[in-house]
Structure 1
């Protein structure tokens, strides 16, 4: 006896386009307010063109509310030509760091990269701030709320590197795990299908970057790059003492 094929719904999960977190001297900008930089705008537009080429239509578009996610979503929709409200879910904001100045020099590398290295312990803090466990406490209920709404078939989520890792980790394992080494290039697209059962996830593809699909220029992680930028500020500060 044949069985009907399952009809899963589709989640397109994006990371926002590139932003500038530090100035030329390594001084940090407020991460809550940074807009897309020129590269980020190009990445968001390229993602929108990829969706437009496939004539994709979204039933819902959800962002964290931070400017970089809102701007990315708007640029995507500008390319698809779809007029749809952008929903802001603050619980999907990026994992929150602490005060960079309070981190000793010897602990900088671990503070910047430790939360994105292998299977990450829940108590691991990001830059001395929010822990991975606290991040998952926010993300998992939001996922359930989204899936409990039967009124959509295709949704676009425009979120953040750490948040996307939490979502992909749960989809891949069905467990409360955080896989830190799932790369999320700025402006990338992931595709996940969800069924009716809680554990019914299918990851179709991950970290697709429309401007550079083969990502030949990427060998370091985002946090490794940010660490090098921040070191400039700390070195200048120590020299001026």
Structure 2
């Protein structure tokens, strides 16, 4: 019996963004937020690392949101003969609800619910989209990628929750679930060898951060930092309202 053929998927999270601008009256719309200067640097570093290792990308996919397009374009900029970038909107991030609609006693926990679990189809991301609905759009896209025969190394730039769903699918042998506890640093690389069927997939590496491979001093998650950014933004807005006549 021979081993199943596998192809390499480089599953990335987009680079760093800033949702809560202290000078803005409201959080920036998640669908339109761009990469920060740091996020662009992270994406370029990832691209240079892949090129230096001799990795040739022959299929490139982004969710279509600006932060994933910018990340993918920065990575492809280091390739000698980059492929055309495709957009797959099925891979857009889980859609959060409006933070002001969440009860005050549930707001802070909502930021970290997906890292704690338990998670079910009815678990909602920041009071918004159900994980079951996310899986219904993300997993068929993953199988569409598997069915295509025109690539050997694919770059897929998506989002934290989407990546958690795909990584859960891979390590569970193809089950439909989202496991808690996944961490995805900005512009991180996950290396997956995609087999002919879900049970043949292999996770080679997870959450490799190109500007900080060892993450030596990092002890918080991206969602914990997002929660802290929100608290800082809220405090700044409250202070502004107190001093504004």
Q: Same fold (TM over 0.5)?
A: yes
CA contact (8 A) 1:98 1:126 kept: yes
- Distance in 1 (CA, whole Å) between partners of 2:110 and 2:139 is 24
- Distance in 2 (CA, whole Å) between partners of 1:233 and 1:209 is 26
Equivalent residue, structure 2, for 1:229: 229
RMSD over aligned Cα, in angstroms? Answer: 1.7
Q: How does 1:173-212 map to 2 (within 5 A)?
A: 173=172, 174-212=174-212
Q: How many residues align?
A: 239
Equivalent residue, structure 2, for 1:81: 80
TM-score when scaled to structure 2? 0.92
Counterpart of 2:198 in 1: which secondary structure?
coil
**Unpaired runs of at least 5, structure 2:** none
CA contact (8 A) 2:14 2:157 kept: yes
Equivalent residue, structure 2, for 1:122: 121
Q: What per-residue deviation string (whole Å, max 9, x for no partner) do you get for residues 67-102 of structure 1?
A: 000001111111123332100000100000011111
Distance 1:46 1:120, change over 3 A: same
- Distance in 1 (CA, whole Å) between partners of 2:89 and 2:219 is 31
CA contact (8 A) 1:115 1:132 kept: no
Pick the aligned partner of 1:23 from 15, 21, 24. 21
CA contact (8 A) 1:117 1:179 kept: no
CA contact (8 A) 1:14 1:157 kept: yes
CA contact (8 A) 2:9 2:194 kept: yes
TM-score when scaled to structure 1? 0.93
- Distance in 2 (CA, whole Å) between partners of 1:89 and 1:33 is 16
